[in-house]
Amino acid sequence: MPMQTVRTNAIDGQKPGTSGLRKKTAVFKRPHYLENFVQSIFDGIDGVQGKTLVVGGDGRYFNDCAIQVILRMASANGAAKCIVGQGGILSTPAVSNLIRQRRADGGLILSASHNPGGPNADFGLKYNGPNGGPATETVTDRIYARTQEIRSYKITAGTEIDLNQLGVTKIDRMKVEIVDPVSDYMALMETIFDFDKIRELFAGGFTMRFDAMHAVTGPYAHAILEGALGATNGTVVNGTPSPDFGGGHPDPNPIWAKALMDKMYGGDAPDFGAASDGDGDRNMIVGRGMYVTPSDSLAVLTANAHLAPRYKDGLAGVARSMPTSRAVDRVADSLGIACFETPTGWKFFGNLLDAGKVTLCGEESAGTGSDHVREKDGLWAVLLWLNILAETGQPVAKVMSDFWAKYGRCYYSRLDYEAVDSDKASAMIEALRVRLPLLAGTQAGGLTVEAADEFAYDDPVDGSRSSGQGIRITFAGGGRAVFRLSGTGTEGATIRIYLEQLETKADKLDMKPEYALADVRSAAMLLSDLTASTGRVDPDVVT
């Protein structure tokens, strides 16, 4: 099959965001758009000659077509082998695991995560390195630089590979191995958790609902929860990946996973509920009548991880993204382990994990993970919760109330204002940035500002500095408001405001979060002047 060199021109706007390049599907389908970006990835990592890559995605519309292009380009660029999930399906943590297990040189993940899929929705592509984690900022910058100077790309002409047929085929000299997407991942989970103990839990009548949201975790959840662990059939709902996620947002939070919330707060609620996102790296945890915020989940898992076999000797340290609540800091403090604060996005955890400085990490956006892979991992978090519940024999509500009684409660909420005019959103952040040095000691909505700054991160492992990572304002009395612009949206700007309030008094641990956060919220609105700058009053999404 002939290898072709195709002339092209640089395309604007191919700068990867928080997690790879995300655009409307129609943009990805424009002539040369995908090809330019793939070639730029290859060039940005010094070529793929002789390398092995893992390739897979969340099954959204255009997943299979894009994989065919990537395989033909990998072949033309001299790659030795591509390992591909059957049907083009691989969850993000499963890609991370395969890269590590097979000692591959990296991988390409096709997903726009929790964003909707379909011809009129979103698509995405990102590169993960040989450690299994998202490309670091340095590599990402090199890829972006290539997109701005690219003049040609290489592709092999020829027929399509049958992605459903397990086994090894070839494109020219490059091997293509189609693998079962679930088995290696499940084998890894068995090394981490006490499957016997969780099996006993289900055998004893424990009930669960897992909402796969028509996305990639369906096959994994069916095999692990209903298969290996013996949960009753029907535990997993919406378990068949569909190219448009059943028309929904595969975003596991109380808004988009409302059906699960209704079930868990209804009369026939099972003991435990969970959901995952488009590409399987996020998780939502909800007990009977008890939603667990992702920030609390990270803190509870940190406090109890030793109950699962892999973590029985304790944790090296933990890390959380800056906007994530400080609940986990309190646990780390009491365990006497380090707690790192990083910018938003999993790529910042990689160095800490590789250096053995942290064992668990997490983000307020429903991402939790550990050093077993280099991505956040939705089903892993669910299994760790199950392992803990099996060991303690407590319902989720009791686990939470005991936790708050011991550590205090960080009430938490995130307000998202979506599709805001980009210039107005940037102007609002800029105006706030300018005022930061003057804020300490001033009053806002009855609260006193304690400190205000813009977050910058100095990576303790490679010494790199990432600045402009969000504005944080702390208030006397344990309150905090954080402001940043999303780096994963595909339409205008999304402003995120993260609110937090610590309560330690025994009679204040059971309030409605809206109530506990009311003062911090009004202070945040006053300080940002959001309504005057953007015309927005109510957020589009509250998590």
- Helices and strands per DSSP (H, E), number in the chain: 18, 27
Using rule CB under 6 A, residue 97 touches ligand VG1: no
Which partner, Co ion, ligand VG1, none, binds residue 19 by CB below 5 to 8 Å per kind?
Answer: ligand VG1
Using rule CB under 6 A, residue 297 touches ligand VG1: no
CB burial of residue 27 (10 Å; 0-12, 13-18, 19+): middle
CB of 277 to Co ion, least distance (A): 4
Query: Where in the sequence numbering do the catalytic residues fall?
Result: 113
Q: Using CB under 6 A, which of 11, 14, 16, 18 touches ligand VG1?
A: 18
Using rule CB under 5 A, residue 281 touches Co ion: yes
Query: Based on CB atoms, which residue is closest to ligand VG1, 161 or 493?
Result: 493
Q: Using CB under 5 A, which of 105, 211, 279, 364 touches Co ion?
A: 279
**Tokens 């033309």, residue located:** 76
Using rule CB under 6 A, residue 114 touches ligand VG1: yes
Q: Using CB under 6 A, which of 345, 350, 369, 479 touches ligand VG1?
A: 345
Site for Co ion in 108-167 (CB under 5 A): 113
Which partner, ligand VG1, Co ion, none, binds residue 344 by CB below 5 to 8 Å per kind?
Answer: ligand VG1
Site for ligand VG1 in 484-503 (CB under 6 A): 486-488, 496
Using rule CB under 6 A, residue 455 touches ligand VG1: no
Using rule CB under 6 A, residue 295 touches ligand VG1: no
Name the helix (H) or strand (E) containing 128.
strand 122-128
Using rule CB under 5 A, residue 58 touches Co ion: no
Query: Based on CB atoms, which residue is closest to ligand VG1, 88 or 133?
Result: 133
Residues 6+ apart with CB under 8 A from 89: 56, 57, 58, 59, 63, 181, 216, 219, 241
Residues 6+ apart with CB under 8 A from 265: 289
- CB-based contact 246:238 (threshold 8 Å): yes
Name the helix (H) or strand (E) containing 53.
strand 52-57
Max Cα separation, the chain?
73
Q: Which span sits near ligand VG1 by CB under 6 A: 93-101, 276-284, 288-296, 301-309?
A: 276-284
CB of 299 to Co ion, least distance (A): 21
Choose among 370, 375, 377, 342: nearest CA to 356.
370
Query: Based on CB atoms, which residue is closest to Co ion, 277 or 503?
Result: 277
Residue 466: C-alpha distances to residues 13, 325, 469 (Å)? 21, 20, 7
Report d(CA 241, CA 94) in Å as an integer: 15
Report d(CA 13, CA 392) in Å as an integer: 50
For the window 317-336, what string marks contact with ligand VG1 as x by the rule CB under 6 A? Answer: ----x---------------
Which residues contact Co ion (rule: CB under 5 A)? 113, 277, 279, 281-282
